Amino acid sequence: MVDAPQTSPFVVTAGERSTFVALSGDFDILTVRAVTHEVEAFLATAPTDVVFDMSTLDFIDSSGIALLLKIYTRVVKEGCGSIRVRNASDAARRTFELCGLTEAFGFDTIRDL
């Protein structure tokens, strides 16, 4: 039996003006440990405009939020850049609302239908 290739829950795509980061599946402590090197490599590029796509994010826990806050600090606080979220799943939106982070992360105000 052949296993299907694993896709990363943290996929970075450099655009002309923005860097797009797609988060998918469960973004929990196990995922955070697995993508730490990818995140560090991403931050080493000193991105200035980051757009998170959370349309396929099923779950995010406090360790996932902590990692995204690390990215926020490096991009926005230290780098004077910007971060925004588009296409947030209901689970992602609820978690960020409960944490009071929707404004800081620039969540879209209108959900895609």
| Structural domain spans, the chain | 19-99
Cβ-contact 79, 48 below 8 angstroms = yes
d(CA 66, CA 106): 17
Predicted confidence (pLDDT) per residue in 59-112, tens digit: 999 999 999 999 999 999 999 999 999 999 999 999 999 999 999 999 976 554
Superfamily of domain 19-99: STAS domain (3.30.750.24)
pTM, full prediction: 0.86
Report the C-alpha gap between 111 and 113 in whole angstroms: 6
